[in-house]
């Protein structure tokens, strides 16, 4: 059938058979279907959706539009983690080596920053020399040798997704849950994994603002994975406040190394431990999440996770001294500016605004052509429910290389100040969750 016939069929509420779906995705991959027809199909899917069978076939066709990495020669179970993106989300960096230290291989193909959320690749590249553009052969070799490797999507991993994603971004179809689910899962299924843990962020600082939408997205991703014969666990996590104390690439590497040394902020450690435990369960190393958490915590406490990370940094071209003295290795900003919030009780924090402020300082990209300043970002010492006293130390440190006259600096400062909702000190304290974990779907 001609592309326009398939578009009409989906537009009018029909279901596409497997051959039609595969033919359309092949046309996307081979660049024989023009952008305007792809955009029309994306909009038809946005309004009409895809049923479970259609979605599984669409995702599988995207996965097979390029190389599917063969890791069958690796004896260990192979389990990855995917996060839907959050402010200060550096969890992959301590998580992957900790899981590998426990005996499960982690073949991790990560992404770059998207909107107000930072990307694992950008964080890793703040380590001088660290390469994320390794060929697939080297990727497989390091997964076998070290138990983990962290790279970016190559030209041959799910190339259909690259074209579809670029068009979704400019056609108002990013929010389609079937398109989000197939985009994520097509790349993950191409990694050669046995199982996947999905960290689905929920809240003001996440793409999924409500737990209902998060559950719906997880149901779609689980359906795709299960039809492909993969074990999938979804962990819904709170994103009402930034994760940890840092936002920005080299700053988040520092915090990750703190966790790998057995320290770091409580919430960053908790997410590393809980997600790692679920990965160990899927990999058959732990009989249940409690045992998994104990194993992950031990790997962080005894230095074995840090040692795996050291080997990964060296193998991928980075300076392994970052594990011992990050301050002497990581790039430094030209300026560190203090920002003191007004006295009172913090009753709400707009994580998204803080993520955008870090982006404005240089930690992210406004356009895909923008260069990232790896040293830029925020260090935050102000938490939900806390009372800020008059004369208290600075609440936020701005790391940047902008000139004092640069309008972006004033823009970022205003965003940060407005991100904190502060009431009088005697205002009732807001409900503050003791855990980031909202729900686990196995």
Catalytic residue numbers?
82, 161, 168, 183, 187
Sign, CA torsion 13/19/25/27 = negative
Task: Look at residue 42 and give its three-state secondary structure.
Answer: helix
Q: Are 93 and 253 in contact (CB under 8 A)?
A: yes
Q: What is the DSSP letter of 258?
A: H
**In whole angstroms, what is the distance from residue 27 CA to residue 38 CA?**
9
Task: For residue 349, give the H/E element and its range.
Answer: strand 344-349
Sheet containing 231-238: order of strands: 79-83, 195-202, 231-238, 437-441
Task: For residue 41, give the H/E element and its range.
Answer: helix 35-48
Q: Where are the alpha helices (DSSP H) in 197-350?
A: 211-227, 249-260, 266-282, 289-301, 304-315, 326-329
Burial 312-335 (b: 16+ CB within 10 A, else e): bbbbbebbbebbeebeebbeebee
Name every residue whose Cβ is closer than 8 Å to that of residue 367 and which is 6 or more positions away in sequence: none
Burial 186-212 (b: 16+ CB within 10 A, else e): bbbbbbbbbbbbbbbbbbbbbbbeeee
Task: Look at residue 233 and give its three-state secondary structure.
Answer: strand
**In whole angstroms, what is the distance from residue 91 CA to residue 113 CA?**
14
**In whole angstroms, what is the distance from residue 396 CA to residue 246 CA?**
10
**431 — phi, psi (to 5°)?**
-70, 120
Token pair of 39 as six digits: 């955009």
Token pair of 256 as six digits: 């990750």
């Amino acid at each position: 059938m001609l592309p326009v016939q398939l578009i009409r069929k989906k537009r009018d509420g029909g279901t596409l058979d497997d051959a039609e779906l595969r033919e359309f995705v092949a046309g996307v991959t081979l660049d024989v279907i023009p952008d305007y027809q792809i955009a029309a199909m994306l909009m038809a899917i946005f309004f009409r959706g895809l049923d479970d069978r259609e979605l599984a076939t669409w995702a599988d066709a995207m996965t097979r539009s390029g190389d599917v990495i063969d890791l069958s020669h690796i004896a260990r179970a192979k389990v990855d983690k995917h996060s839907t993106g959050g402010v200060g989300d550096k969890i992959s960096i301590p998580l992957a080596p900790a899981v590998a230290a426990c005996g499960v291989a982690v073949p991790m193909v990560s992404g770059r920053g998207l909107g107000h959320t930072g990307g694992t690749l950008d964080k890793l590249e703040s380590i001088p020399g660290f390469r994320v553009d390794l060929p697939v052969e080297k990727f497989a070799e390091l997964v076998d040798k070290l138990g983990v490797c962290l790279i970016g999507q190559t030209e041959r991993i799910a190339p259909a997704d690259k074209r579809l994603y670029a068009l979704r971004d400019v056609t108002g179809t990013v929010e389609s849950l079937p398109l989000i689910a197939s985009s994520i899962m097509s790349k993950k299924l191409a990694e050669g994994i046995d199982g996947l843990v999905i960290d689905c962020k929920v809240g003001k600082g996440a793409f999924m603002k409500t737990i209902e939408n998060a559950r719906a997205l997880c149901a779609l991703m689980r359906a795709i994975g299960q039809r492909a014969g993969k074990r999938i666990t979804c962990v819904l996590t709170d994103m009402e406040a930034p994760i940890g104390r840092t936002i920005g690439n080299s700053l988040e590497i520092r915090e990750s190394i703190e966790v790998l040394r057995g320290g770091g902020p409580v919430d960053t450690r908790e997410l590393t431990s809980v997600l790692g435990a679920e990965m160990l369960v899927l990999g058959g190393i732990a009989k249940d999440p409690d045992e998994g958490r104990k194993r992950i915590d031990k790997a962080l406490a005894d230095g074995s996770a840090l040692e795996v990370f050291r080997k990964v940094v060296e193998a991928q071209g980075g300076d392994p001294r970052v594990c011992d003295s990050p301050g002497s290795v990581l790039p430094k900003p030209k300026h560190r500016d203090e920002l003191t919030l007004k006295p009172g009780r913090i009753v709400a924090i707009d994580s998204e605004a803080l993520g955008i402020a870090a982006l404005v300082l240089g930690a992210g990209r406004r356009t895909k052509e923008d260069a990232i300043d790896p040293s830029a970002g925020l260090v935050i010492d102000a938490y939900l429910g806390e009372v800020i006293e008059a004369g208290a130390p600075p609440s936020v440190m701005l790391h940047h290389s902008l000139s004092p006259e640069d309008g972006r600096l004033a823009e970022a400062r205003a965003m940060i100040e407005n991100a904190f909702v502060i009431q009088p000190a005697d205002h009732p304290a807001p409900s503050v969750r003791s855990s980031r974990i909202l729900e686990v779907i196995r």
